[in-house]
Amino acid sequence: MKTLSDLIAEGVSGRRVLVRADLNVPLDGDKITDDGRVRASVPTLKALVDGGARVLVAAHLGRPKGEPDPALSLAPVAVRLGELLGQTVELGTEAAGDGTVVLLENIRFDARETSKVDAEREALADELAAKADAFVSDGFGVVHRKQASVYDVAKKLPAYAGGLVLAEVEVLRKLTADLQRPYVVVLGGAKVSDKLGVIANLLTKVDRLLIGGGMAYTFLKAQGHEVGRSLLQEDQLDQVAGFLKEAEERGVELVLPVDVLAATGFAADAEFDVVKATAIPADRQGLDIGPESREQFAAKLADAKTVFWNGPMGVFEFEAFAGGTRAVAEALVASDAFTVVGGGDSAAAVRALGLPEDGFSHISTGGGASLEYLEGKELPGVAVLEEGTA
């Protein structure tokens, strides 16, 4: 796999370089609420700018359904990127002068980007390739997608892995090929259905699996417990029961919450009580793991040598229900293990809770890509770089 360092060594002065970045940040109107992904893109862009390249950045924001949507314009991102790079970043269609950066408008405004028809994606990739002399893949959050600006364009230009993609792949290999044990995985988030494949694969690899967040209630229900009005995926109960049985058979310690904060409703100021996880009142819903569970989870992480965490333990956006997520994050900061935060809401939580990002070995920029890698799936955007290019 050729890398950004290889490209810089070849010389980039005056060359047009197309960079696929992941700038899919959360917005409140036109205000970026978490600029982590924008900041993560800066080192690769800065290296190219310092080398005198004419940089054209492709990225997406949200899911605009293949047509322009003013609410999903990358204009606020261009402003923030310019602030971080110390130069104006224009929204445009072509690479500009040496040492400059131009950001293409949301690539998903073009339906061909995500088309399932190869010829349609390739047509867009041809248009992108015509604007550049080389391609740098630096959007790890999208390398699990076979999309025009991720996969197809890498076949049409000399292609290189950006620093961000390279770092992510190295980290994920440490979670698979170069594993130090005990290996503990913490999974949270809303839906167990989002993580069926990764749970199935992890049960063959981990020593301990901690389950929190909304998905924990489906596990508790599968054990026969009342979960009240908590988030529940009844169509997944048989699958989850199978996971519980397999964990027992394989000797994997599967840890569920022992207590939860049972609230009267889904609101930041909802009244709540701490109750046993096996006795949630029928008219209440669990919005966070309880204090005993927090201590238990921290204890189960204490002796780990490798930890992967994906998904919050509760509704961390509400201060009253952020304690479980904070407890897990703080346990990882205190740990001597190789600790990986698997992107998405977990990474956002770390920043929202004001925890030191350098307290973790690695914070991924791509939750979905990380999970698919751990699920054992090939990542098309990485595979195409490994195959060699034009």
Determine how many CB atoms are found less than 10 A away from the CB of residue 388. Answer: 12
CA distance 109 to 60: 8
Active-site annotation holds for 37: yes
Confirm or deny that 253 is annotated as ligand binding: no
Report whether 301 contacts 178 (CB < 8 A): no
Residue in 242, 220, 355 with CA at minimum distance from that of residue 286: 220
DSSP structure class, residue 236:
G
Asked whether residue 351 is marked as a ligand-binding residue, the answer is: no
- Binding site annotation covers 37? yes
Query: In the chain, at which residue ranges do the beta strands (DSSP E only) sit?
Result: 16-20, 27-28, 31-32, 54-58, 90-92, 100-104, 134-137, 159-161, 183-187, 208-211, 253-255, 259-263, 272-276, 285-289, 306-310, 338-341, 362-363
**Is 56 known as a binding-site position?**
no
Say whether 354 is catalytic.
no
User: Is residue 195 annotated as involved in ligand binding?
Assistant: yes
Query: Given 323, 344, 367, 381, which residue is catalytic?
Result: 344
16 is in an annotated binding site: no
Element (H, E) at 345: helix 344-352
DSSP-assigned states of every residue in 118-182? HHHHHHHHHHHHTT-SEEEE--GGGTTS--IIIIIGGGTS-EEE-HHHHHHHHHHHHTTTT--SS
Q: Which residue has the tokens 């005990």?
A: 182
Please tell me whether 284 is known to bind a ligand: no
- In the set 80, 155, 191, 305, the catalytic residue is 191
Using a 10 angstrom Cβ sphere, with 0-12 exposed, 13-18 middle and 19 or more buried, the burial of residue 88 is middle
Q: 286 a known binding residue?
A: yes
Q: 343 a known binding residue?
A: yes
- The catalytic position among 51, 141, 368, 381 is 368
Q: Is 62 annotated as a binding residue?
A: yes
The reply to whether 23 sits in an annotated binding site is yes
Q: Is 366 annotated as a binding residue?
A: no
Catalytic pick among 16, 37, 221, 300: 37
Residue 66 marked in a binding site: no
Binding-site residue ranges for (2R)-3-phosphoglycerate: 37, 108, 145
Binding-site residue ranges: 22-24, 37, 60-63, 108, 145, 195, 286, 317, 343-346
Binding-site residue ranges for ATP: 195, 286, 317, 343-346
| Active site (catalytic) residues | 37, 191, 344, 368
Binding-site residue ranges for substrate: 22-24, 37, 60-63, 108, 145
